[in-house]
Structure 1
Amino acid sequence: MDAIQQTEKQIFELMQKLSELRKQHRGDAVPNYTFKSLDGEVSLLELFADRERLLLIHNMGQGCRYCTLWADGFNGFVPHLESAMSIVLVSKDAPDVQRQFANSRGWRFRLASHGGGDYIREQTVLPGEGNMPGAVVYERDGDTIYRKNSCVFGPGDIYCSMWSLLGLAGLGEADWTPQFNYWQRPQKLDDGGANLLG
């Protein structure tokens, strides 16, 4: 085995250890927070639907290219994730703004807005940081909700496969920044290209 393969093996073993620790962990009980949706007010318990587990993706909103990258990547997993737990993307954006942006990206997530209120201040994924991107898994036991595990999203993390694929090419988070769109100027513009921005 060369150094790369050895390192990959170590990472795999650490990931297995991390999964086992998370499996055994059960956090503190949390309040039944309320959110806004296109259908009106909805509680944290209602977001579980008929499931015992809820994955809440903390998204900073439509103004964040990085949060958009993570959600774009997770979108393909929605049906798979929904076979195991309820999944909802939350952000500070108003429900109509969330839906419009989600539709423009082809996202299939259920959406809810925390509006920057108590939920995101008290359930942030990084203590001391309010609207930080990440995810929280909650478990319910009757009407009691427990915060099982959480994670922070950031460039180079293990939750966005883009970083691993860039890494295969020898590129890191300092070499690439996500964009909302990737337009490349054609060699010849039929309209002459006057006043072109970008």
Structure 2
Amino acid sequence: MPQHQIVSRQEWIAARKAHLAHEKEFSKARDRLAEERRRLPWVKLDKTYVFDGPAGKVALADLFRGRPQLVVQHVMFAPDWEAACKSCSFWADGFERMVPHLAARDTTMVAISLAPVEKLEAFKKRMGWTFEWVSSGGNDFNHDYGVTFTRDEIDHGEPKYNFGTTPFYGPELPGISVFFRDESGAVFHTYSCFARGLDMMNAAYQYLDLTPLGRHEEGLPYPMDWVRLRDQYQPDAAKAGCCHD
């Protein structure tokens, strides 16, 4: 357990206010970054993508569901897997109940994966999720938007993930992509993020960052080694890996 100085309430308030000044600096920097993000140029799509949904074929433009903005969560789920990536599922648990709130602000959110729609629906039922989830197994969407890579790309070590800044660690990788559809029906790609860019979208991590132990992932084989599918945690999971034991 990390060692901390024990102080009076008055001393704690003084220390907390000093830290609050840094938090405010960060908040202002984040606001500036968000504004810069909104000013990024767009790319008009010149390719048609058709996905497999539970009710049949659905085009990318249809996934907007009448709204101008679409957020796509690229969930790692290869065709030969029986379950989605446990880490992507960690994120999905977080946005599951967020969808109606986004819809109230003219934004539709969907998940897209390579696995066939039958597997997506079965896993969605297992997890109790309600968001829309479609299969891109019949098109190039995942590859075009930087989350699926060919064997040749991997063998040649081409660093295409995260805009060429992050090494490969598998043929299927996570990401988020954002699109806009104007009144004429034209669709534009406005933003994508990968790797640590996804971190801020995981509310559980943000809560852990408020605690004294933080994420306490030091010493693990990789940062999210502790994560399990929501129905796989043991009853004493709260103690698993805790430095008190």
Relative to the length of structure 1, the TM-score reads 0.82
In 2, the alpha carbon distance for the partners of 1:163 and 1:27 equals 30
Post-superposition Cα deviations, 1:136-157, rounded to whole Å, max 9, x if no partner, equal 1100122321111122255982
Structure 1 counterpart of 2:174: 133
Provide the residue aligned with 2:6 in structure 1: none
- The 5 A counterparts of 1:31-180 are 31-61=47-77, 62-84=83-105, 85-115=107-137, 117-124=139-146, 126-127=162-163, 131-141=172-182, 142-154=184-196, 157-169=199-211, 170-172=213-215, 174-175=217-218, 177-180=226-229
Of residues 27, 36, 46, the one that matches 1:21 is: 36
Name the CA distance, whole Å, in 2 between partners of 1:26 and 1:132: 25
Q: Any stretches of 5+ residues in structure 1 without a counterpart?
A: 186-198
Q: CA RMSD, aligned part only? A: 2.4
Structure 1 stretch displaced more, 58-67 or 6-15: 6-15
- 1:37-75 per-residue CA deviation (whole Å, 9 max, x = no partner) reads 122221111111211111111110233111000000011
Contact 1:51 1:86 in 2 (8 A): yes
Q: Distance in 1 between matches of 2:140 and 2:114?
A: 11
What's the offset of the Cα at 1:93? Answer: 1.3
Tell me the matched-pair count.
Answer: 185
Counterpart amino acid of 1:132? L
Q: Which has the larger radius of gyration?
A: 2
Using a 3 Å threshold, how does the CA distance of structure 1 residues 17 and 53 change in structure 2: closer, same or farther? same
How high is the TM-score relative to the length of structure 2? 0.68
